[in-house]
Amino acid sequence: MSLLAKFSDLAVQREALADADPSKVVIDEILSPTEAMINGRHTILAGTNNYLGLTFDPDCIAAGQKALAQMGTGTTGSRMANGNYSGHRALERELAEFYGYPYAMVFSTGYAANLGVLSALLGPDDAVLLDADAHASLYDGAAMTQAGIYRFKHNDPDSLDKRLSRLKDRAARTLVVIEGLYSVLGDTAPMQEFVEVKDRHDALLMVDEAHSLGVYGEHGRGLVESSATQDQVDFVVGTFSKSLASTGGFCVSRHQELELFQYASRPYMFTASPCPSVIATTRAALNALRKRPELKAQLWRNAEHLYNALKAKNFRLGPELSPVVAIRLEDRGLALNAWQRLLESGVYCNLMLPPAAPEGGSVLRFSLSAAHTETQVDTLIERISALGLE
């Protein structure tokens, strides 16, 4: 068998998708945070994770343009090799202040943040316990280490408790990894219960707030704020590519050891640092998140509008109301056909197929934005209803 033979199965899977292949979608023109031209058709974007709708925010664009003019297009190297730009340090200070933690660290992507934090934290004598539905980057980060890797049932504190009990004395050298808002079905972690379990076993807790930053909490700090567990959580990681409408990732912590991660985190040490314009737009978006609470309020109005309307029509949805609205389908072919029909009707959403979707089913996933208008949400309801999937 040749080295390339393994790709034959992927080729068969790609052919099975036919025209309903999200990877083949080309967005010809972005018209606004919620609209684009796709295949010559005016399309509502309902799968972008642009929760606060800041991708076209004038202040963010102006900040990026100014940074481009003053500091150039890229850093051309890692911070360990080429040094820190002033914006890198400023963003870390602002993130730490925003969360009320003393320490923060910025990475080039959210994926790199998860790989970088886990690979720095975990050694051969340690263990990591991951929620069964945790993002691929969290599993990939754990796989980079020599730690023992275990999983527990999704959002199940009892399952976590049993796993930690089996580890006995090793539980004190264990990192528990969960997410705040899970991006496939839109459900949230039972934070208080998880904190109680990890404290009982002297473990540490890391929460990935990629999809919950800017969405939950009075100040938009995520589920750690809305659940009042911020002081008990050890590490919060996240991305700039959702609510902050940029690219990059971060970790904030109450532990001073985070300052030493730069000497132990290979994804940090050997990846080019974020471009000045990216840092500038991220800082502007963070400022908007802090000073414009009406964005989060509008996001939730849109989420309630879509979720409640589809629930009233007896669609099988995710377990709770959130800005991620998931229509669950058991039949893969039905999901492929529905996604294609939506795209042809001028609606772009995300298609999740096994094994990405839970329990062997498929999901049509919609992410709401503060930039969606009431008319656009009404249009989504109308075109989804026309599929006859209730």
| 185 inside domain | yes
Q: Of 291, 318, 342, which marks where a domain is finished?
A: 291
Residues of the chain with pLDDT under 50: none
Kindly list the distances between the CA atom of residue 355 and the CA atoms of 41, 122, 338, in Å, as whole numbers in the listed order: 31, 27, 19
> Is there a single domain that holds both residue 263 and residue 319?
no
Q: Which of 275, 96, 177, 224 is nearest to 105 (CA)?
A: 96
Q: Which of 160, 164, 112 is nearest to 138 (CA)?
A: 112
| 8 inside domain | no
| 53 inside domain | no
Beta strands at 35-38 and 41-45: parallel, antiparallel or unpaired = antiparallel
Domain count, the chain: 2
- Domain limits for position 315: 16-45+293-385
Per-residue confidence (pLDDT) for residue 12, from 0 to 100: 84
Per-residue confidence (pLDDT) for residue 19, from 0 to 100: 67
> Is there a single domain that holds both residue 268 and residue 317?
no
Whether the CB-CB separation of 116 and 144 falls below 8 Å is answered with: no
Question: If you ran DSSP here, which 8-state letter would residue 291 be given?
Answer: H
> Is there a single domain that holds both residue 228 and residue 315?
no
> Is there a single domain that holds both residue 151 and residue 202?
yes
> Is there a single domain that holds both residue 37 and residue 81?
no
Q: Of 291, 322, 343, which marks where a domain is finished?
A: 291
Per-residue confidence (pLDDT) for residue 16, from 0 to 100: 75
CA dist 160 and 376 (Å) reads 41
| 11 inside domain | no
Indicate the burial class of 140 (C-beta count within 10 angstroms; 0-12, 13-18, 19 or more): middle
| 284 inside domain | yes
- pTM, two decimals, is 0.95
Whether the CB-CB separation of 285 and 244 falls below 8 Å is answered with: yes
Per-residue confidence (pLDDT) for residue 51, from 0 to 100: 98
Q: Which of 268, 247, 277, 272 is nearest to 75 (CA)?
A: 272
Q: What is the CATH number of the domain that holds 356?
A: 3.90.1150.10
> Is there a single domain that holds both residue 201 and residue 314?
no
> Is there a single domain that holds both residue 305 and residue 329?
yes
Q: Give Rg (Cα) of the chain.
A: 21
| 3 inside domain | no
Paired strand residues for 366:
325
> Is there a single domain that holds both residue 152 and residue 67?
yes
Read off the tokens for 230.
């911020």
> Residue holding tokens 């985070």?
258
> Is there a single domain that holds both residue 230 and residue 337?
no
Through-space distance between the first and last CA atoms of the chain, rounded to whole angstroms: 46
> Is there a single domain that holds both residue 239 and residue 274?
yes
| 172 inside domain | yes
> Is there a single domain that holds both residue 152 and residue 227?
yes
> Is there a single domain that holds both residue 175 and residue 264?
yes
Question: What is the chain's mean pLDDT, rounded?
Answer: 95
In the 3-class helix/strand/coil scheme, how is 106-154 assigned residue by residue?
Answer: EECCHHHHHHHHHHHHCCCCCEEEEECCCCHHHHHHHHCCCCEEEEECC
Q: Which amino acid, one-letter code, is at 33?
A: P
Q: Of 257, 291, 325, which marks where a domain is finished?
A: 291
Q: What is the CATH number of the domain that holds 173?
A: 3.40.640.10
| 371 inside domain | yes
